[in-house]
Amino acid sequence: MLEPIPFAALFFFVALLYASVGLGGGSSYTAILAIAGIAPAIIPSTSLTLNVIVAGLGLVNFSRTGHFRSKLILPLLLASIPMAYLGGRLALSERVFDWFLLGTLVVVAGRIYLFGELHSGFRLEARGRMAARLALGAALGFVAGVVGIGGGIYLVPVLIFLNLASEREAATAGTVFVLLNSVAGLVPRFQTGSLDASWLLPLSISVLLGGLVGSHLGAAKLKPRTVQKVLGVVVLLAIAVLLRRLVI
């Protein structure tokens, strides 16, 4: 088992960049831990804890903007929180976890590099909007609980693409979604004792400091898409490492 201290500076940098544009960074935390060959039992609990810290800082900032829409966020949470808890309860074998994580990271990479213009002329009727929110919430909540990716990187662009929210409303919803589903995914891991304090403490301090600095810098200097493309390289490396481990 590697020591967590060498990762502290890297996680500080990742948290700084993500927090500067109001994101949690769970996909990059998970990818880095996967590249390092960290045990699957540690990866989700570590990433979810770091998500809670950075998303919590983001929520403080977004709460001042007045873009919180309860009709948008509540259906997402009602569907996602039970699924995040269920995902956190699953005890997957190392190989099954690696395949699940690989599939998730491939979708993340596709979202980062292939998803172009977010706005579209696509519109849903009232029933369709509610069904879309519930389906999105359930699917992304489950992913959050299993692999430790909060889901904001998927949720925000889909909400914008389906014209369910403006960019600021989607960003606010994404922050709340990541925070509460990360907590829901952590609860069963606390119950089963699948947490490693020796990893959580130093990395939590690192992302807390990085999140504070990033939040202070603000979103005006960096674009979310730019940050995602830069840090998406980490996701691509993780995909290569997992493929090598699973196929070769």
pLDDT digits (tens, 9 = 90+) for 65-85: 666 677 888 888 999 999 999
When computed from its CA atoms, the radius of gyration of the chain, rounded to whole angstroms, is 17
Q: pTM of the predicted model, to two decimals?
A: 0.78
Low-confidence ranges of the chain (pLDDT < 70): 1-2, 21-23, 61-68, 115-124, 126, 193-194, 218-225, 227, 248
Amino acid residing at 145: G
* CB neighbourhood size of 226 (10 A): 11
pLDDT at 67: 63
Each residue of 195-245: pLDDT tens digit?
Answer: 777 778 888 999 999 888 877 775 455 666 676 777 778 888 888 888 888
pLDDT at 118: 55
> CA–CA separation, 165 vs 163, rounded Å?
5
pLDDT at 78: 92
What's the token pair of residue 202?
A: 């130093």
Q: Where are the domains of the chain?
A: 7-247
Amino acid residing at 135: A
